Amino acid sequence: MSQGESKLQLLESCLKKSRPLRIEPNAQSVLAAVVAVVRNMDDSLDLLFIRRAERAEDPWSGQIAFPGGRQHVGDRSTLETALRETKEELGIDLSRHDRIIGSLGDTTSHLGNLIITPYVACVPNTIEVRPNAEVAEYFWIPINSLRKVDNFPIATRGGALLREAYIFGERVIWGLTARIIDDLLNCMKSARSA
């Protein structure tokens, strides 16, 4: 069994056993979903990231993220939102060819009323990615190559902040996406020690 297969089995096992935290929405809540898309390479398990296109109305403009977005009126669930957004943003139809292997606990954004459900999907390593205009670029990062840094200086529209971040080369992943990576890695760690 390759290292990538071993990590994928570990991830699937932890997601099956977990009971993710769900945040109860109120009348002001806005629901959203993202997908941590993984692929099994022989020597690693890779995560798919996007860099959001620069748009004035987007509070996460230009940031590195997982594909996803807000729930639309026609979406029957956050899972449906996750599937729709991944197809729209990256051309990946998770409902047809690939599989959702679980979800992580809900989280909230700095906007307060936004509740995000992160899903995890596994895709073949030959998957074709076709980004739309909302995505400036996409890239894969081996999970083992992410380096966590405390108090990393982050330049934002409002000035510089010191935050926990994951670093890969020149790429800085922070905020909501970094918290989801934390949850993903903690899930795998707990499965390994169980």
* Helix or strand run (H / E) with residue 83: helix 78-90
Cβ count within 10 A of residue 166: 23
72: left (phi over 0), alpha (psi -120 to 50) or beta: beta
Q: What is the pLDDT of residues 134-153, one digit of tens each?
A: 999 999 999 999 999 987 88
What is this structure's pTM?
0.91
Per DSSP (E only), the strands in 22-75 are: 30-41, 44-52, 64-65, 68-70
Q: What is the pLDDT of residues 20-36, one digit of tens each?
A: 999 999 999 999 999 99
Place of tokens 């890779």: 46
- Domain spans in the chain, listed from the N-terminal domain onward: 3-144
> Looking at the predicted structure, is the pLDDT value of residue 194 above 60?
no
If you classify domain 3-144 with CATH, what class do you get? alpha beta
At 157, the pLDDT band (50, 70, 90 cuts) reads low
Q: Which residue has the higher pLDDT, 152 or 131?
A: 131
CB 33 within 8 A of CB 68: yes
